[in-house]
Amino acid sequence: MQTDRLGEPVLSLFRAVTGLMFLCHGLASVFGVLGGNRGTGEAVPFGVWPGWWAALIQLVCGALVMVGLLTRGSAVIASGSMAYAYFVVHQPDGLLPLVNQGELSAVYAWAFLLIAALGPGPWAVDALVRPSGGRGAGRRGAVTTAD
């Protein structure tokens, strides 16, 4: 079994699934669908800091990361928003994520940081925009030959 052959497609799937889950959080909080914000069935009131703005980041960045468009920048913003959520919302209740219930924020922060560092993978809109294997195309170390 060659892990190199599977690494790029698995990265694309990881990016798409992570983006989809983040998008679902944004949809729930902005529109009150899928159970609403924190299962209340309600949307976060428009413009409320930081909840509505965090939900907007989840919605927009989740969609962009899911399809692999502007992936690295969107993943950095998503990672930063989850790091903010962890340190501002959860960490004051205790240092460890199991104590302060910040596991999801911490995992999302690290997952999006990984996506930002590794790129979108080959199954992404970014890869179609830059198919030559250039910066951000998700094809690290691509070798080209001249005729």
Q: What angle do CA 48, 50, 56 make, to 5 degrees?
A: 80
Which residue from 105, 26, 106 is spatially nearest to 62, judged by alpha carbons?
26
pLDDT of 15 reads 98
Contact (CB, 8 A) for 32 and 41: yes
For the record, the structure tokens of 118 come out as 């590794």
Reduced to 3 states (helix: H, G, I; strand: E, B; else coil), residue 119 is coil
Is the per-residue pLDDT at 144 higher than 60?
Answer: no
Percent of the chain with pLDDT over 70: 86
Reduced to 3 states (helix: H, G, I; strand: E, B; else coil), residue 122 is coil
CA 47 to the chain's CA centroid: 22
Convert the pLDDT of each residue in 76-92 to its tens digit: 999 999 999 999 999 99
Mean local confidence (pLDDT), 108-134: 89
Confidence of residue 2 (pLDDT cuts 50, 70, 90): low
Instruction: Please provide the average confidence, as pLDDT, over all residues in the chain.
Output: 88
For the record, the structure tokens of 91 come out as 């960490």
Amino acid present at 6: L
pLDDT of 133 reads 53
Placement of tokens 């969609």 in the chain: 63
pTM of the model: 0.84
Convert the pLDDT of each residue in 23-74 to its tens digit: 999 999 999 999 998 889 999 999 999 999 999 999 999 999 999 999 999 9
Which residue from 129, 130, 147, 120 is spatially nearest to 9, judged by alpha carbons?
120
